[in-house]
Structure 1
Amino acid sequence: MHMADALKFVSAQPKDTQGVVASAVYAGGRRVAEIPIGEAGEWSRRPGHVVWIGLHEPGLDLLRQVQREFNLHDLSIEDALKAHQRPKLEQYGEALFVVVRTAQMLDGRIAFGETHLFVGHGYVVSVRHGASTSYTPVRERCEADQKAFSEGEDFILYAVLDFIVDNYMPVIEAIQAEVEAIEDSILAETATRTQVPRLYQLRRDLLRLRNAAVPLVEVCRRLEQPGLPGIDPAMSPLFRDVSDHIRRVQEEIESLREVLAFAFETSLMTGQAQQNEITRKLAAWAAILAVPTAVAGIYGMNFENMPELEWRYGYVLVLAAILVACGWLYWRFRQNGWL
């Protein structure tokens, strides 16, 4: 369904179905019709038909309506309403309930969302919460590949999982580009004070992304195994491919975390080196200034028996000695790289 069609369809729904992005029935890989939620259960029980419903942050009334149509379990409805679940796959009778974490870059931070998938014989219901890309491109891609789409609800589940995992990569690439820029500035000694907290922030976000992505390996592993309702064993290679993509995401995350740790340590070492440089310069100037300070302190004691006070050229000689001593110290510090 195109976005314009989806919006038109949603606007035509009654108030208790607001949150419905798309609701359509398919047969043989072709879209038969757009249907209201109240007719979804009847269409799903027709041989060779699959109902695909997309919801975005639905309310309890809408979820209860979907529950009645497909006889969904109360616990899965409760999880889909509250969100904030860890990635998992649960089996309730002849239905599957899959939770997947989604991720997007928003204002320089990784924003996380959730997608809950109800999969059973003749139906797939996707529920999106939080930061998540619309699954309209997935629906359009499936509709364009009618042969693969005719496989049914398990192919829809694969297509959504694959889309979610693929969307992790733009997030990683955006962080990688920023990390490389920060790393270059650190090595060029042009880093700013705000970059150290940013490095820590990025490392923490990557850890959260890892915790969101890695559990999907176990979800796909279970989907590869025979015996799950509605999952054709012939789909195992596709779910295995999703697992491979997740492992690649995991490797990229671990690599980036190592780079961030190196950049963080390098920034701290650079900062310490800069502080040591400043300390050396201050110590050098303090040593230079100590010479005139010491001489002035001696002549400022105001003793009566100081023969130097009677010398005609004493003042000139003292100033010359001070300048020579300070000049020699300056030259030595320059030679040693302290100034």
Structure 2
Amino acid sequence: MEQVRNLTPAPTSGIIASSVYLSGKRVADIAIEQAGEWAAKPGHVVWIGLLEPDRNLLLRVQAQFHLHDLAIEDAEHPHARPKIEQYGDALFIVARTAQLIDGRVTFGETHLFVGTGYIVSVRHGPSTSYAAVRQHWESCPHSLAKGEDFVLYAILDFIVDNYMPVLEQIEDEVEAIEDKVLLKPMTGSEIERLYMLRRDLLRLRNAALPLVEVCRRLTSADLPQIHAAMHPLFRDVTDHIRTVQEKIDSLREVLAFAFEASLLVGQSQETAISKKLASWAAILAVPTAFAGIYGMNFSDMPELKMEYGYPVILLVMASICSFLYWRFKKNGWL
């Protein structure tokens, strides 16, 4: 399907949009109290968008479409796992949204009520405005005319597609870490950042993966709210989720490799330092040994009385030290 361009006007709370459509074209912006009447008219679709609604607003919407109390409770108090429930003739769907804010993946929730002639979206927390979805598909009335199940597809597809910009930003950071890690060990703050990225990726995976089951249910024959013609579109959303999942798994593997590589680089540098210390210790041991021997003040040490004993001893020490230095240098220890 066509890519929806992100348009993010300044968010407000309450009712973001409340419109009625006929044959894919917006015919009126309506009050909440008129929504049920318009939804009952053949061929009409009411599309309501809410942002951080209070209980009173949710009860007004509930009264129009006879929504289940449990679904309203979930919509009022977010933190539900992505899921799909059927309450009478209405579907209730929960999806997680994600945005990268100050370097951390931050999650929001979208609750969707879908029934004959209406769809209601309720947003909580960080998410890209669905005004982009509305504006895009209003320019394609032949698609919007397919009904409320097409609007459901459009919103779910938009949510899943918006996981990718988050992953792309994380991927850029992961590549930077990967480039640095082979040059020097990571600092404590870099290791902490790596751990946070791995945890955020796991949380994003847990947010996206349950939507596979949601889309599977939406393509089953036991949901009268979803027309069979829409099944391929929801399978396409499933494919997008699988792509997101593969991307997440790939990035987590790269981060695991980066951590292991950093440990290996650190161990290699520690080994190199140990070799240098051992080499210099061996070289310095030579004059130390000579000094120890000739510092014992034995009376019967003939070489002490030799005319050239002192320079000979210095030459021998220098020769041994030079040989050891050459040998260690050749072996790459120095």
TM-score (norm 2): 0.91
Hey, what's the Cα distance between the residues in 1 that align with 2:36 and 2:297?
A: 108
**Match status 1:192 vs 2:186:** yes
In structure 1, stretches of 5+ residues that fail to align are 11-17
Indicate the residue corresponding to 1:15 in structure 2. Answer: none
Hey, what's the Cα distance between the residues in 1 that align with 2:265 and 2:127?
A: 39
Q: Shift of residue 3 of structure 1?
A: 7.1
SS in 1 for 2:28: strand
TM-score (norm 1): 0.89
Aligned with 2:200 (options 194, 200, 205): 205
**Match status 1:69 vs 2:64:** yes
Indicate the residue corresponding to 1:106 in structure 2. Answer: 101
Letter in 1 for 2:59: R
**Match status 1:47 vs 2:50:** no
Indicate the residue corresponding to 1:276 in structure 2. Answer: 271
In structure 2, stretches of 5+ residues that fail to align are 1-6
Aligned with 2:233 (options 211, 233, 238): 238
8 A Cα contact 2:215 2:238, kept in partner: yes
> Residues 1-339 of structure 1 correspond to what in structure 2 (within 5 A)?
18-187=13-182, 189-193=183-187, 194-303=189-298, 305-339=300-334
SS in 2 for 1:118: strand
Residues 191-214 of structure 1: CA deviation (Å, up to 9, x unaligned):
532433333322222211111111
SS in 1 for 2:225: coil
1:230–1:298 CA distance, 2 compared to 1 (3 A): same
Hey, what's the Cα distance between the residues in 1 that align with 2:272 and 2:63?
A: 72
Hey, what's the Cα distance between the residues in 1 that align with 2:319 and 2:192?
A: 48
8 A Cα contact 1:214 1:246, kept in partner: yes
CA RMSD after TM alignment: 2.1
Q: Shift of residue 303 of structure 1?
A: 4.6
8 A Cα contact 1:44 1:121, kept in partner: yes
Hey, what's the Cα distance between the residues in 2 that align with 1:103 and 1:94?
A: 30
Q: Shift of residue 147 of structure 1?
A: 0.7
Hey, what's the Cα distance between the residues in 2 that align with 1:229 and 1:32?
A: 26
**Larger RCO: 1 or 2 (CA < 8 Å, sep 6+):** 2
% identical aligned pairs: 64
Letter in 1 for 2:186: T
Hey, what's the Cα distance between the residues in 2 that align with 1:321 and 1:223?
A: 88
